[in-house]
Amino acid sequence: MDTGDPRAYGPHGPYGFPAQDPRGPLPHTSLPRGSLPHSSHPDEQPAGTLLDSLRVAVVMLDTHGRVLLWSPLAEEVLGWSGEHIVGRRVGGLFTPGQAEQIMATLLRQGRWDGVLSLRHRDGHTVQVDTLAGLLVDGEGRPFVLASLVERSRMRPLEQDLAALDAFFASSPIGLAVFDRELRYVRINQALADMNGLPVADHIGHTVGEVLEPRLAAVVARLQREVLVTGRPVVDMVVVTPDGRSHRSVSYHRLVDRSGEVLGISVTIQDVTERVLAAKKDERVRRRLALLDDVGARIAGELDAQRVAQALAEALVPAFCDHSDVILRAEAAGDEGLAAAHWGTPMRRYGVGVAGASPAAVRMPEHGEPVGIAAGSVLGRVILTGEPAMIGTPPEIRAAYADDAWAGLARDLGISSMLVLPLRAHGHVLGPLVLSRGAGREPFDSEDLVLASELADRTGAALDNARLYAREREGALTLQRSLLPRGVAQPPGVSVAFRYVPAGRGAEVGGDWFDVVPLAGGRIALVVGDVAGHGPAAAATMGRLRTAVRTLAGLDLPPDELLRRVDALGDDLAPGQDEGWLATAVYAVYDPATRRCAVSRAGHLPPVLVEEDVDSGRCTARLLDLPTGVPLGVGGVAFETTELDLPDGAVLVLYTDGLVEARGQDIDAGIERVRTTLCHRLDSLEGACDELLAGLDPHREPDDVALLVARLGALPGGPPVAG
């Protein structure tokens, strides 16, 4: 053949044999380009398999080095076409002496493998991995069959296999490969250790033959689903049969390049620490959420009994199954605290129960007295101020003094209990008792820490509520002492009044009213509101009321009276750096003339109710008066408006607590008052009750002062309805 190199073949060929076989040339047996022999089994060598990627070239030689068969892939790898090389020797493709050595090895050992550097027809060198074997045909003639793969294609595969082997050998993650019958084909030592069996005891077996039956049933079903559907399972956490370990399992279906399903692979990782850490984080999150929830429920409460009940409800079922908040009587009221001693009355002010079982229905109710034995766990907590955690049935049954509790604790299935002291200023207000049933994990040291924090916060909230109650009672006492206990009822005038303190806390303030008899049978009606709340506002209100009563005796017009009150300035609120403000409306009525003079100092306008004698219908309207500015601003004049009133007209003076509501415009409240007063006013007392009954329960916490006066003529004139 023409190799392009005259040295390629000498007269005796590369091995020293004659260039021509005496039996004559062999027929041309190269296969058409792109054609490969097919296996009788369709699964052995389908199109698109690994062999296609490796592109294995096949060459057949006789023992003299003459080419008998040259595959199309050999043509692609080395550039020599079959018609040029079949029947000729290939020594020119090798380095000098290499072909002889290889043939000698084949004749001696029957096989040879290694890497060859063969010359391409274009002159460059091609590195090929070669496997050659000495075979015998049907007539007993020996021949050499060699497979060649370009090194550039073989190296990535070798690297992949090496990496896979190293990964299987050194990975701490459990790895395994299963065939289509879901038998172990390969498994690494890490997974074998997890399963507690040697590697050899896995190969050829299914998980049903290796794993614990219950776990094996779950895994086998999962494997079959992945094998059939091809949907992978990623990071599914399963628990080992002993419940001590958690494992992350991932399954993938294995498919070759032609799409044939080969089996499945699995990676298994012990994630016990991760799961426990996640559970711990979740537990911490729930605890913080519980602290926030309890804080939000009790922070705004200024009533000790509501604080106790809010705590009991917040803890069930988030933290426990049953909760008791037991307080000394003085801790739930406004009395001072003293050291706990036996004989101190104890009552249950907070009760929380999970579920609605018959036993839960028998739980003691709110406000019931509680008997506590001196030697019991509750007794020790009250005396020492130290928390306790108990989990033994005898201690749980003996927690309270009454025998009924023992049966109730048994019926409720209480198996674990925490008893925490509720402290304030070094004194124990009472115990917080938390219980869990048998269906929950018993309390542990972390639960004790959390419960102690809750008890400390609750103790502070209870003490705040107690102090607020004392301050509120003091402010109420002060304000009631400064308000009139009764009002004058001069001839021709009927008066009804109401005072309602703020709904909660120490927020009683400066709302006030007064009725002042004047010379000549006249009468002064006044309603005012001092800005602010608490004892300071109440004291300012008392001074303001005294000033108005004193100046009213001077028979001053309403605007002049308000001016003089305003001029008193700091004398009405001594020691208040920020000054003071108050609104007021002052009216003087003369029954002899049925004339009324009114002046406002930034206050809401009075409502005048008039009745049509002929039709019996009532109308209620706001008096159109100059607004004025609040008292305490200073330097602004006030105006007086005079009105002629029909006999029997009703004048209604009020403070903003009657008409204000959260989220509602004040005009809506005024309209409600006006609509209520449009009915026939047969009774002034009834009118006051009806106005107060219409108060919005969600109104702003503010006082209400209300003064209703029916203005008639002096005796001897037309009759006046009472």
DSSP state of 631: B
Q: What is the pTM of this model?
A: 0.54
For residue 406, count other CB atoms closer than 10 A to its CB.
16
Q: How many CB atoms lie within 10 A of CB 514?
A: 23
Domain with CATH 3.30.450.40 in the chain: 317-470
- Token readout for 118 is 């063969």
Q: Can you give the pLDDT at residue 30?
A: 34
Tokens of 715: 């005796």
Angle at alpha carbon of residue 184, lines to 183 and 188, rounded to 5°: 170
Pull the structure tokens for residue 537: 């506002």
- Average pLDDT of each block of 10 consecutive residues along the chain (722 residues)? 34 32 34 34 49 79 89 87 85 82 88 89 88 88 90 76 78 91 92 90 93 89 93 88 85 88 92 87 88 86 86 90 83 49 70 69 66 82 91 81 68 87 88 88 92 91 80 68 71 88 62 91 93 79 90 93 89 69 94 94 94 77 93 88 92 91 84 86 87 74 87 64 37
Strand-pair partners of 440: none
Pairing of strands 125-136, 142-150: antiparallel
Return phi, psi of residue 174, to 5°: -70, 130
Find residue 130's DSSP bridge partners.
Answer: 114, 148
The two tokens of residue 86 are 């079949």
Q: Which residues pair with 414 in a beta bridge?
A: 437
Question: 1-36+45-161: what CATH class?
Answer: alpha beta
Q: Which two tokens stand for residue 597?
A: 């003079």
Domain with CATH 3.60.40.10 in the chain: 483-711
CATH number given to 171-270? 3.30.450.20
- Dig out the tokens for 454 from the structure: 């809750």
Closest CA to 528 of 505, 557, 558: 558
Provide the total of helices (H) and of strands (E) in the chain, helices listed first: 18, 25
In the chain, where does the domain assigned CATH 3.30.450.20 lie? 1-36+45-161, 171-270
Per residue in 361-419, pLDDT tens? 555 666 678 878 777 888 889 888 999 999 888 888 787 766 566 667 777 788 899 99
Task: Answer whether CATH 3.60.40.10 is correct for domain 483-711.
Answer: yes
Write the pLDDT tens digit of every residue in 640-658. 999 999 988 999 999 998 9
Superfamily of domain 317-470: GAF domain (3.30.450.40)
Q: Which of 477, 544, 485 is nearest to 510 (CA)?
A: 544
Q: Chain centroid to CA 392: how far?
A: 35
CB atoms within 10 A of CB 383: 15
- Asked if residues 261 and 228 have their Cβ atoms less than 8 Å apart, the reply is no
pLDDT at residue 43, as a whole number: 45
